[in-house]
Structure 1
Amino acid sequence: MALLVQKFGGSSVADVAAIRRVAQRIVETHRAGHDVAVVVSAMGDTTDELLELAIAISPGPPPEREMDMLLTAGERISMALLAMAIADQGVRARSFTGEQAGMRTDSSHGRARLLSVTPDRVQATLREGAVAIVAGFQGVSEDDDVTTLGRGGSDTTAVALAAALDADVCEIYTDVDGLYTADPRIVPSASRVTRITVEETLEMAAHGAKILHLRAVEYARRFKVPLHVRSSFSDQEGTWILVGRPLTAAVEDPMEDPLISGIAHEKSLGKVTAVGIPDRPGAAAKVVGAVASVGVSIDMIVQNVSTSHSATSDISFTLPESDGARAVAAVRDLQHEMGFADVLYTSHIGKISLVGAGLRSNPDVAHRFFGALAQAGVNIEMISTSEIRISVITDQEHLADAVRSVHTAFNLDADAEAVVYGGTGR
């Protein structure tokens, strides 16, 4: 008998039929002798619909506290309906809000971070032989205000709950059969990855892969929570994310890791360039600090030092396109003080990243990667690397062609097309 935490995303509980299907899966797991705690997202497009209601009521920026109170209603609806559906199949179930499940957070509404998890009521429910269902995406602050965890928050809730319960595994159920070598909506011939290290998964999540949220993977690595990404629409084995904790013999097979685990891509990025910065110590720190002070996260950074006698440099960095205006304004505020020439902004930027443990030991990877991009007619604007990743910036228009070309160049294409059951990938 094992203790499992199962997380079901919005596409998995999109309507009544879907909730009943999920309930049946949970009941089958419970009747197989396992203890089951469940984390559930809001149904389908409920969160988007609540956001539209808020905009209709208040076209200006709404109070963040009240927005969190509104958005958490979606998960409360799905958790209660799921508990009813499980009870209807003869198994006791009890639902809990994030607060009732012991999810304590800081006070950052809309993007709260977990401070502690004390799931006493969840543990008591499991000891009674019932299924515990927890609303994802939400918690309660030290001031006893309801908070939300931001994008991908239900994944984080599930992993944090699994860590607090010392669960044997956290199963993330979505609408595809696991992690793929590329987004199957862009590359229909993408291959399912049967196992992948948590470090490779972090790189994939950080650079555009949408199946798992970055904060959830970070939490899994920190607390060594084994993850199993599966589809709620099929019985496929899915993808195991290895964190160092012993699992089954099949998963622990010490066969050599594949050269490339996958290709991630990200669109809707922007690029800011500060031109002609006097080349002296501390210049980059001032630019990056100004951007950070307005709450904008920077991704890739490149500094080009002039080889002429002008002793100037250009600093370019990428960021979410939605943050472009704030970042440009912050950098422009420094222009007079630092004496640089101009601030340039480019929108509609895309990024493609090649991820795999084999990058450490194979010197030909970069050559093949850049060659595949050249064959697809893709121009490279920026390059960033780590031990297990190479990322390049290009224009968004050619991003899909770039992904497909690189995927084929590394022999990642499968014989059959991947199945996307719900259409969202979450």
Structure 2
Amino acid sequence: MQTAPCIVQKFGGTSVGNPERIRHVARRVMEEIDKGNRVVVVVSAMGHSTDELIELAKTISSRPHGREMDALLATGEQVSAALLAMALIELGQPACSLTGWQVGIETNHIYGSARMLRIRTDRLQMLLDAGKVPVVCGFQGVVDGNITTLGRGGSDTTAVALAAALKAKRCDIYTDVTGVFTTDPRVVPQAQKLSQVSYDEMLELAGLGAQVLHPRAVETAKAFGVPLTVRSTFQHEEGTMVVETVEMVERQKSVTGIAFEREVARLALIGVPLQKHGLAVVFGKLADIGVNVDVIVQSVVQEETVDVSFTVSESDALRSLDALKSLQSELQFSDIQMETGLGKVSIVGAGMITHPGVAAEMFSCLAESGIPVSMVSTSEMKISCMIRGQQVDTAVTALHRQFLEESPTVNTHVEFA
């Protein structure tokens, strides 16, 4: 007897924001079951409850202990999962809520930004075989009996990893938008929904600030070939497929999308000695505490020393500064500087690889809008510029108009003899 295909559905915080929305999500789950599929559901915390828990922690401690912070934040998803399981049971569908540790999601030891190492699927398979819907708490796992969290957006990663482990037919990410757009439509109303986007482009967009998908989720989907779709919880329309290669008819412009971040900090170390392998020590220390470093600019001041500037999220700025101060006596660099209130705007597109002049066009567009650029980072399919935080919206609007509304399209018509 052939086993029915398995679908993983992930619902974000907005989708489960109140009891009526939770009941609506239960009906969306039933639609998939009625098609003959077995379903595993992953949920985020309700609405803004994670933010509320963070603020609650800050009333007790300005720098909460990592283990206890993860134990606190993990409760948000437990509320969502239990309520959705109740809603499914009310519809006559057996369901069971599960925490990350009950599923068997094992992670490393980095509290607040843990990475999954292994997933045990035995319990999920047992529930599916019994005709039940497992409703899994996203965003969390366990290490040595301690609760860990995967960082903001980690529920996406949970869903994709479960889909890979279960060899699911596909993973559907349900959110409050109808798909992946050329940029955030709340900033640029003219933004267009993409019917397809490649794993590589989506990975760049997600890593550069597009919040519709978590970067680790896209990375996992690409690594294991998980079919991924972003769609709306509240509207029945086609979403955006994240695929290996975008069809040529879809590739009409050199730039596919524009991503941005608002809360960025710049750290600068002056006079880092080269003979002590200072850069390796500095970035190794930041990696050890789970800080993601983004744009890096290095300049050689003397033969023996370098100045290096790099960016991190503002939420990581203070602990990064503390970590670097602890290295100052060892490395004997002369000064540490920190600047906050920055932003980053990036253009992304596989078409940039074969179309020179995109960088010059971007810099000209920003200059004409009166926006100075302080740091630049590039790869084959992205260009990122550091700017003042209050100028982000202006920059995104100008770049979207330049590359995605007014620019000529790339000729994708190919004739074969």
Normalised TM-score (structure 2): 0.88
Equivalence for 1:13: 16
> For residue 182 of structure 1, what is the aligned residue in structure 2?
183
The answer to whether the Cα contact below 8 Å between 1:275 and 1:314 also exists between their aligned partners in 2 is yes
Specify whether residues 333 and 53 from structure 1 end up closer, same or farther in structure 2 by C-alpha distance, changes over 3 A only.
closer
1:365 aligned to 358, 363, 367, which one? 358
For residue 205 of structure 1, what is the aligned residue in structure 2? 206
Stretch of structure 1 that moved more, 262-271 or 80-89: 80-89
Letter in 2 for 1:348: G
Residues 1:380 and 2:382 are matched in the alignment: no
**SS at structure 1 position matched to 2:177:** coil
Conserved 8 A contact 2:100-2:137: yes
Mapped pair 1:145 → 2:146: yes
In 1, distance between residues paired with 2:219 and 2:272?
A: 36
How far 1:351 sits from its partner (Å)? 0.8
Deviation, structure 1 residue 233: 1.3
Return the alpha-carbon distance in structure 1 between the equivalents of residues 80 and 21 of structure 2.
11
* Worse overlay, 85-94 or 21-30: 85-94
Equivalent residues of 1:181, 1:412 under 8 A apart: no
Q: Quick check: 2:272–2:279 contact (8 Å CA) kept in 1?
A: no
Which of 235, 249, 252 is the equivalent residue of 1:255?
Answer: 249
Query: What is the aligned-residue identity percentage?
Result: 47
Find the aligned partners of 1:331 and 1:140 in 2 and give their Cα distance: 29
1:185 counterpart SS class: coil
Say what the alpha-carbon RMSD is for the aligned residues: 2.6
The residue that corresponds to 2:233 in the other structure is 232
> In 2, Cα distance between the equivalents of 1:74 and 1:345?
33
Aligned length: 402
Question: For residues 14 and 335 of structure 1, do their structure 2 counterparts lie closer, same or farther at Cα, with a shift above 3 Å needed?
Answer: closer
Displacement after TM superposition at 1:276 (Å) = 5.1
| 1:394–1:357 CA distance, 2 compared to 1 (3 A) | same
Gaps of 5+ in 2: 407-417
Letter in 2 for 1:219: T
SS at match of 1:345: strand
Structure 1 pair 347/158, CA: closer, same or farther in 2 (3 Å)?
same
Q: Which consecutive unaligned segments of at least 5 residues does structure 1 have?
A: 245-251, 414-426
Q: Which amino acid aligns with 1:40?
A: V
C-alpha distance in 2, partners of 1:392/1:127?
A: 51
Task: Label 1:29 to 1:347 Cα distance change in 2 as closer, same or farther (>3 A).
Answer: same
Give the direction of change, closer, same or farther, for the CA distance of 1:314–1:23 in structure 2 (3 Å limit).
Answer: same
1:127-166 mapped onto 2 (5 Å cutoff): 127-141=129-143, 143-166=144-167
Map of 1:393-408 to 2, 5 A cutoff? Answer: 393-408=386-401
Structure 1 counterpart of 2:298, one-letter code? Q
Secondary structure, counterpart of 1:99 in structure 2: helix
1:345–1:25 distance in 2 versus 1, CA, 3 Å: same
- CA distance in structure 2 between the aligned counterparts of 1:20 and 1:304, rounded to whole angstroms: 57
- Closer, same or farther: CA 322–337 of 1 in aligned 2, 3 Å: same
CA contact (8 A) 1:106 1:114 kept: yes
User: Where in structure 2 are the equivalents of 1:209-358 lying within 5 Å?
Assistant: 209-243=210-244, 253-255=247-249, 257-258=251-252, 259-275=254-270, 282-289=277-284, 291-292=286-287, 295-305=290-300, 313-328=306-321, 330-331=323-324, 342-358=335-351
Distance 1:286 1:81 in 2: 47
Task: Give the whole-Å Cα distance in 1 for the aligned partners of 2:283 and 2:182.
Answer: 33
Contact 1:226 1:243 in 2 (8 A): no
C-alpha displacement of 1:42: 1.5
Pick from 35, 59, 64: which aligns with 1:32? 35
